[in-house]
Amino acid sequence: MTHHHRTAGRRRAVAAVLAAAVVVPPAMTTAPAAAAAPTAATPATPPAVSCTSQKAGLAAALKKDITAALKNRKGTIAVQVDDAVTGTSCTLRATQKFDSASVVKVTVLGALLLDAQRQERKLTSREKSLAKAMITKSDNASTSTLWKQLGPTKVKRFIKAAGMTDTTPGADRYWGLTQITARDQQRLLGRLTTKNSLLTDDSRAYARKLMGEVVRDQRWGTPAGAPATATVQVKNGWLPRKTHGWRVHSIGAFTGKGHNYTISVLTHGNKTMTDGVNTIQAVSRAIHKRLNPKAPARTAYVPPAVPHEAVPATPERAARESVPADGAHGPQGTDRTDGT
């Protein structure tokens, strides 16, 4: 009996200890804390101009100048400049893709020259006539003829061989919708200005010659502010669509007498053609001035008062030739009766 009472006592003592060890949470007297209120989304920081140079102080100066030229400019703007003389390169959105508009015509010319080289022949008189009209007057019909002659296989062959890894040819007959980047356009210009195994010296000289003979009213864009001592080679393009407004582009090479640099400026989201032209020319003037601080200003190759350029065909509308700035169908499809 005594043993039974001792055992029962031990059990009560253990139970009391266990009960004391249990932590009972206090009664919930308030509602759970509310989740933190979401903060307003922070706008994405736009990319900054990036420059490198082997010439002391030049990279920082160019970055400052290009950034200032772009201040308050609307739309999406991509820039790349490469100067072989000073070992300088500046980029902004260099891999951003754009519809090519007529700047793709230089790529078409490159594909034509490479195809002739592979066949170990010269360009025919017909091909020369088409190429000249395509580059010097930005003739759409000539471009379409050569585009069809080459076909996608030969165009793609040139793009791949030139290292233009982000460039995609436009589908079917819509060469003006080829997807391009500033970086690839610079690679293309490099193939025309620097000795290489892709294009012969004669092919490169021929392409530069045509780009140097562009008709006066199409000499806008990257040549703005170019030094008088440089030989200017240029190809431009513009195209309106309902998305991204006006695409306005310019690529240029500046060679001879100690010059060897190239500039590509691609834009879209412009309200008008003139907006895009003004943006490109502001950037180009800043670049030329900084790279050539002592060179005299060019007077024989000033941009035209009314820039012109052909508008390529898209699925929405037909091609148009030699259209003056702000004298074409706008992004919303409004007609302008300018006689072109």
260 φ, ψ (degrees, to nearest 5): -160, 75
Cα 52 to the center of its chain, rounded Å: 19
More confidently predicted of 33 and 66: 66
How confident is residue 303, by pLDDT bands cut at 50, 70 and 90?
A: confident
- In the predicted structure, residue 11 carries a pLDDT above the cut 80: no
The Cα 77–Cα 165 span in angstroms is: 20
How confident is residue 325, by pLDDT bands cut at 50, 70 and 90?
A: confident
- In the predicted structure, residue 255 carries a pLDDT above the cut 60: yes
How confident is residue 296, by pLDDT bands cut at 50, 70 and 90?
A: confident
Instruction: Name every residue whose Cβ is closer than 8 Å to that of residue 195 and which is 6 or more positions away in sequence.
Output: 201, 204
Residue type, 340: T
Which residue stretches of 81-195 are H helix? Answer: 104-118, 125-136, 140-161, 182-193
pLDDT score at 324: 78
The Cα 94–Cα 47 span in angstroms is: 10
Strand order across the beta sheet in which 231-240 lies: 50-52, 88-92, 76-83, 259-270, 246-256, 231-240
Residue with tokens 């100048």: 65
**Burial call 58-78: b when 16+ CB within 10 Å, e when fewer:** bbebbbebbeebbeebebbbb
139 φ, ψ (degrees, to nearest 5): -70, 120
How confident is residue 42, by pLDDT bands cut at 50, 70 and 90?
A: low
- Nearest alpha carbon to residue 75 among 321, 320, 283: 283
Residue with tokens 């793709």: 104
The total number of residues shown for the chain amounts to 340
311 bridge partner residues? 320
pLDDT score at 322: 67
- Nearest alpha carbon to residue 336 among 277, 273, 276: 273
More confidently predicted of 306 and 211: 211
Task: Specify the 3-state DSSP secondary structure of 270.
Answer: strand
How confident is residue 331, by pLDDT bands cut at 50, 70 and 90?
A: very low
Q: Which domains does the chain have, with CATH numbers?
A: 50-324 (3.40.710.10)
Contact call for residues 203 and 128 (beta carbons, < 8 A): no
